[in-house]
């Protein structure tokens, strides 16, 4: 689906669809509901202590929001991030060239956005890139990668809080985080942002989506 309008994208996100490069998709696994669509309610969001701390650590970075870009700096940053994941988490090595970057992170659509973070204290070094979608009602977090040297500062958490701030300033209602999978350590972090809503199940064609408010079951650190 290459001709999806921003308003149509809003409806697709509300129905549990995801957007990545030129592709739209959602789970079709019979008998399995492990992938739970989740979104943050922007005006009601209350950051935890650790989320505020991560946001403060990133406060010195310059943030630029615009259309996705592709260049050697971005490709090198992705390689550094992915190589760190290979070493620390046992991910499979990946061959990732300019065409791959374009198709996955810089494919031009009417809703595609890039949030780039620069460290001006280090000669304007690019340290993080968040690939997103912007629609009339929401921001959709697609993918985020960053310099492993800043990994201990929880940059991924800081990016989500930044997206919430951007959405609030622009009058948008939600920040979609995609699928939360409780059994997957890489996706479990999504449950820490509250209040949030979860899609009770993927609706059939013509059936309205039903979202339910989900609150934290224990105090956040």
Element (H, E) at 115: strand 112-119
Cβ atoms < 10 Å from Cβ of 42: 22
Any domain includes 219: no
Any domain includes 44: yes
Q: In the chain, how many domains are there?
A: 1
Any domain includes 144: yes
Q: What share of the chain is helix, strand, coil (3-state, %, to 5)?
A: 35, 25, 40
Half-sphere exposure for 71 (CA within 13 Å, toward CB) = 6
pLDDT, residue 216, reads 59
Where in the sequence is the domain holding 167, given as residue range(s)? 6-214
Any domain includes 179: yes
> pLDDT for 175-221, tens place per residue?
999 998 877 777 778 888 999 999 998 898 889 999 999 865 444 44
Query: Are 29 and 16 within 8 A, CB to CB?
Result: no
**For the domain that residue 146 is a member of, what is the CATH number?**
3.40.630
Element (H, E) at 99: helix 98-105
Any domain includes 160: yes
Q: Is the pLDDT of residue 51 over 90?
A: yes
Q: How far, in Å, CA of 161 to CA of 218, rounded?
A: 20
Any domain includes 221: no
> pLDDT for 69-113, tens place per residue?
999 999 999 999 999 999 888 888 888 899 999 999 999 999 999
Any domain includes 100: yes
Any domain includes 220: no
State whether residue 36 is helix, strand or coil: strand
> pLDDT for 29-42, tens place per residue?
777 778 899 999 99
pLDDT mean across residues, the chain:
91
């Amino acid at each position: 689906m290459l001709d999806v309008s921003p308003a149509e994208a809003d409806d697709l996100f509300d129905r549990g669809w995801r957007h990545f490069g030129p592709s739209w998709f959602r789970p079709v696994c019979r008998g399995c509901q492990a992938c739970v669509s989740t979104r943050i309610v922007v005006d009601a969001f209350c950051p935890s202590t650790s989320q505020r701390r991560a946001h403060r650590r990133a406060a010195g970075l310059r943030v630029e929001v615009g259309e996705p870009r592709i260049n050697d700096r971005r490709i090198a940053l992705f390689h550094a991030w992915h190589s760190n994941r290979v070493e620390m988490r046992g991910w499979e090595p990946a061959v990732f060239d300019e065409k791959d970057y374009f198709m996955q992170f810089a494919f031009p659509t009417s809703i595609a956005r890039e949030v780039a973070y620069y460290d001006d204290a280090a000669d304007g070094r690019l340290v993080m890139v968040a690939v997103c979608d912007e629609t009339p009602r929401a921001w959709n977090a697609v993918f985020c990668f960053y310099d492993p040297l800043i990994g201990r500062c929880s940059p991924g958490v800081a990016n989500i809080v930044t997206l919430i701030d951007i959405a609030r300033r622009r009058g948008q209602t939600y920040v979609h985080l995609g699928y939360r999978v409780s059994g997957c350590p890489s996706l479990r972090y999504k449950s820490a942002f509250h209040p949030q809503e979860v899609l009770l199940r993927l609706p059939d064609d013509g059936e309205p989506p039903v979202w339910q408010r989900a609150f934290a079951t224990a105090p956040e650190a």
